[in-house]
Amino acid sequence: MTTRDKVLSALRGAGRSGVSGEALAREIGVSRVAVAKHVTALKSSGYRIEAVAGLGYRLLEAPDLPLPAEVAPLLSSERWMRLEGGAETSSTNDDCKALARAGAPEGTVVLASRQTAGRGRLGRHWASPEGGVYVSCLLRPAAPVAEVPPLALVVALGVARGLRVLGADAHVKWPNDVVTPSGKLAGVLLETAAESDRVEWVVAGFGVNVRPGLEVVPGAAYLEELAGRGMLLAEVAAACLDGVAQTYDSFVVEGFRAMRAPYSELMASGGGAATVKDATGRVLGAGAILGVDDDGRLLLETATGTQAFSSGEVTLKD
């Protein structure tokens, strides 16, 4: 825990009665000047802290941002051991990749409440206005590169589970979209670095549409509208991170095989018809969705029998 987090947690503990600068300094083991500096920094991150003469500091309100200090206490999983960011950035995937290259450990997470250059699959832009949650997780699976594509499904399933816990009827759309009947709720983007066929790191980024902001995102569904209640962005980030921790933990032990049934069960348009296209729009196959196989490949019942498709750079059209 950083000194700033300690100041925040002491302020939380003091509740409405507040706590003096002197008592805070003593409790944390820093000077009163240092406490004042951290209080100023917390205020500039959006915390409303009142300074009352003769009494000290009182926390009035925490910001509705997925800040590490807000998300960490809501996490059940211990997988995510280092949380960064929380406010605006260009792309959490880029920030997380920089940390990965600098040797950050598996379990590092970068959070944001807005991205100025969010990226989606197939080189697309990912609109990232306020009202969403943008998260990237650093994974270092001891796996060959060939096992990375199913990891995108593992992350999408984890995010979908987290969103279901919060009250959304979320499903997965192969390979890594999280959808509802009213539109796309979340997307997943995996970026990987490998050395002689062994994975060095995977940055698994996901963005969730929580509430509509000023920017209208075509085709988007919003979590608060689906759940029928308001929620804190930190709550959304924590639920999804717990969901991803759960599916990734199983993947690490048992591989994608363990996810095959739960993923297939949560597939949108299960039993419905779908067309698989490559990045140029060329149709690779069409038929009824049967589910996924042990490697996360999409199984379609086509006119010529069952066909399997790898996720790589293909898209599924309902």
User: Footprint of ligand BTN on this chain (CB under 6 A)?
Assistant: 91-93, 115, 118-121, 124, 126, 134-136, 177, 187-189, 205-207
Shorter beta-carbon distance to ligand BTN: residue 4 or 171? 171
Shorter beta-carbon distance to ligand BTN: residue 139 or 188? 188
Shorter beta-carbon distance to ligand BTN: residue 93 or 192? 93
- Nearest residue by C-beta to ligand BTN? 187
Q: What's the min distance (Å) between Cβ of 312 and ligand BTN?
A: 14
Q: Which residues make Cβ contacts (< 8 Å) with residue 166, sequence separation at least 6?
A: 223, 227, 231, 235, 236, 239
Q: Are 297 and 308 in contact (CB under 8 A)?
A: yes
| Residue among 202, 194, 208 nearest 97 (CA) | 202
In the numeric block, which tokens belong to residue 149?
A: 């594509």
Shorter beta-carbon distance to ligand BTN: residue 115 or 180? 115
Q: What's the min distance (Å) between Cβ of 308 and ligand BTN?
A: 22
Shorter beta-carbon distance to ligand BTN: residue 56 or 187? 187
C-alpha span between 270 and 173 (Å, rounded): 9
Give me the amino acid identity at 3.
Answer: T
Q: What's the min distance (Å) between Cβ of 213 and ligand BTN?
A: 14
Give me the amino acid identity at 263.
Answer: Y
C-alpha span between 95 and 276 (Å, rounded): 32
Q: Are 286 and 302 in contact (CB under 8 A)?
A: yes
Q: What's the min distance (Å) between Cβ of 81 and ligand BTN?
A: 19
Shorter beta-carbon distance to ligand BTN: residue 207 or 287? 207
Give me the amino acid identity at 128.
Answer: S
Q: What's the min distance (Å) between Cβ of 87 and ligand BTN?
A: 14
Q: Are 300 and 289 in contact (CB under 8 A)?
A: yes
The residues with which 188 forms a beta bridge, in sequence order, are 206
Q: What's the min distance (Å) between Cβ of 12 and ligand BTN?
A: 28
C-alpha span between 232 and 188 (Å, rounded): 21
